[in-house]
Amino acid sequence: MDFSLSAEQKQIRDMVAEFVDEEVKPRAMEIDEEDEFPADLVAEMGELGLMGMPFPEEYGGAGLDYHSYAIGLAEISRGSGGLGTIVAAHTSLAGNMLYEFGNEAQKEEYLTPVNTGEDIGAFALSEAGAGSDVPAMTTTAEKEGDEYVVNGGKLWISNGSVADTVTLFAKTDPEADNKGISSFVVRPEEDDGFVVEGTEHKLGDKGCPTAELRFDDMRIPEDRLLGEEGDGFVHALKTLNGGRITIAARGVGIAQAALDDALAYSQDREQFDQPISDFQAIQHKLADMDTKLQAAKMLMHRAADKKIRGEKFIKEAAQAKLYASEISREVANEGIQIHGGYGYTTDFAAERYYRDAKLNEIYEGTSEILRNTIANQLLD
């Protein structure tokens, strides 16, 4: 097994790291305080090829492997957890739906501008009464002539209020349980009846708008159906499985930021006439933080390797996301502890890392659901 990065992967890492250090980190506190979608940074990422990293160049993507994509997303998340979610929801969810399940015409029309960053993507699956229980969704899409009429609503939709292209899930056969769910391409500016009810005020993940959407007799052309009617549930599961690798990357990036800050602070902060990094208690915290981070990276890359090879990676993706999510919170928590009282103030980024990390344990599969998934794979 070769654990070293290729020359291309190092180049991607260094390029994104430079962008993050020069453009994102100086803005991170502002993004967190104002909670506004950083359109200028997103546009710059589009110019750098960071909005369509894992997709072929023929569709406007960067043509990178999934290792490089995970590395890039981890670096973006190191600068801003909210920006990491913007890219993950846009690419791993909306973009992947279009790439994996769209026909050639749909890819040309909708995927290409998503990959270049000209359009922003969102993935509308969750509802107030249908989070982990996807088949409980109540949004419907009724066929009328050459159109579908959509009614219902979605909740917790990352990028939902700023998206140009939304991949939407709705029931075309309400009596068929999960086999009655279909997926569609929605264009908010074109489709009458698409309503943004508002955005959530969240603990962290600032800068990425999390929207509540409503559909009032929204008519969409039949050629916006992805695949066949009834394919939507499978589309969702496959897309979320790949997306878990990138949430692991978000966790890795946040944990790296927390460790970097804690390490620097411990060497600068003095107590009893010496840097606190001289104390064994602090050294042990730093050692545990880095060990957890390195293990999370390995799980992330193992899942990415399985995906690249075309092998089954359900368990590996769930394990990567579960572990990286939980250690990102743990590492961020220790980062606050090392900062002491300062870590509990907004003058330092330590508390922001903790707030951003917590979301990893909730979205795109809660830690409880992921443990079920891992156990099911073991038992099967």
**Residues with catalytic function:** 364
> What is the CA angle 358-166-149, rounded to 5?
125
Residue 121 DSSP symbol: E
Distance from C-alpha of 106 to C-alpha of 114, rounded to nearest angstrom:
12
Per-residue CA distances from 23 to 62, 114, 120, 313, 349 (Å):
21, 22, 20, 35, 16
Question: DSSP letters of 177-213?
Answer: GGGGEEEEEE-TTTSTTEEEEEE---SS-TTS-EEEE
Asked if residues 276 and 262 have their Cβ atoms less than 8 Å apart, the reply is no
Q: Please, what is the Cα angle at 199 between 184 and 82, to 5 degrees?
A: 85
Give me the phi and psi of 66, to 5 degrees please: -70, -25
Radius of gyration of the chain (CA): 21
